[in-house]
Structure 1
């Protein structure tokens, strides 16, 4: 299991870019294999360099903070993680070819930049609580870039390209610089061909030389029963195409469950309010309450107070990939009648007289008790 990038560099999760850069420089000077000959130094240097490459890039850092290592590994190859990171900005003295230590002999620069996998896409899907309860399939429609069929993704008319004259097809340009350890050769992506080693002289008219066209895609997404709000469903290979035949990215469907007019959800439990009458609260009753898939029986005990909560076991949301279900919690609210008939008034007046007698008797008992145990302070 990979270690946390923030822990590797020894910085907090809200550390600024400058703090991350300073910490990395300190650790890199300590563990760089040109200076530290211990067996574990090279591996440690690779570890801190990967952490810095991610946390120093705003886009990569945001992905890591949101999705962890999965967000980085699913989108970037090992070489792509270091793409665009200016290590020379950190070490004005310079080290040897940085990528020699990260990727092994020769360095990635000499081989040219590897084609990058396609970008991941996000689709926000709204479903009802009932759909989340039952699960099933939902049809989603979204726009995405796809490889141009006319040029096969090359971006060139008839699929033809020419060798880049600046880098002579290598995809990189080399230069030397004086460093703390002497003169070293370093490599950078060719600015003319952007590392592909080829240039387009006659752009494809269908895609205007980009190698990609905008298309509308429809597909069915399987919703598991019991899915939670903001859950992410990964559809592999349904993202945008990669460069030069590299893998497609993935589609992430983010599920949003609409508010329900009657139920509230807490984890796998469902909560609701039910109104009952004075007589039901006083005498008790058996009533039907709506659950998500049927009508459930609820026994109201005599002398039930308003806001009493009853539990109906196993009437809540299903657990993912399980036959278990949460509970339904019903809160009863005793409703005061808005209109009172003559018969009802007579009954309530009689009840009021009885309640008054009970209250007076209780008061007299309390008063006698106080009088019998009085004391002077």
Structure 2
């Protein structure tokens, strides 16, 4: 493995080189001037399998260097090293990950040999490279509002469902409904390629109603199979600004023949409310009809404490940014604990999104979160795949009993 070390302190470089040599690494190039290291990478971005980068440097600092690594599409590993405080270090890590760099670790000086070994792996290993990440900001195909409208009319938009499970015992309590476009020629199209366009051109309300009706019908089918699951549907601000929307929802719930409390409307204020009084009117009427209300992505954007005060939510969903890896980040854990505490004191059910690891699951149980949702449990799937998944989860649930009992 070829290592590139970058630190403006010559002593730190010598110490790090000595530690790495003892670990068996022999191909090490070190620089005390960021500009020189950048010149080398500009000539051949594949000259290193791993970059160990100090953040605090004169001239080009570590944050600027991260930006250059992203520009050059560096596909090797990155270890961030700093004498700064933990929050700065973790912020730099999140920034590098947002640039889709393969961050292997973020550590304080002086770096312990054991930490280096854990982050770098065997000296003879080859470049792993990062897992490719789809960039939703760059759609593969440009769709028109007219084509989306035609797709809604033709029934091309389909629901997939991600399970939610109770942390106390692993019991499946519900699902979140997500939408996909089953395009006749382009295949399965993700929401990032049509949701914003639908919002901008007045199509989000008819799309929301289609998703809602399909979700209620699926909830009815699960209920006939003996599974009473909460079915959550994301509701747009456009729908919530329409005063007759509660009556439409109530009529669809009656038609599906399921209790109103099994429907949960997830609200994310992604766009500024045009008519906040109408939204408050609609949401309050929903609760009077015993439909559940969930504040989604709590702690981000406009999902605020004021909304918790003003709107009768009965469920709080903690955003994935404050859930995944919270056990390893004290600031993230503090925000997670505070969010769960607010939910508990307001008598709301707490749901954690982005549960991807056993460590995420264990921490949430320890902190008293009610419900977990994320890849650790299951990815979103068509309703037809649930029968098989239920059996698989029951097996996993039994295996998890030492953790969940």
TM-score (norm 2): 0.20
- Normalized per residue, the structure richer in strand is 1
> Higher relative contact order by CA 8 Å / sep ≥ 6: 1 or 2?
1
Which structure: greater helix fraction?
A: 2
With normalisation by structure 1, the TM-score equals 0.21
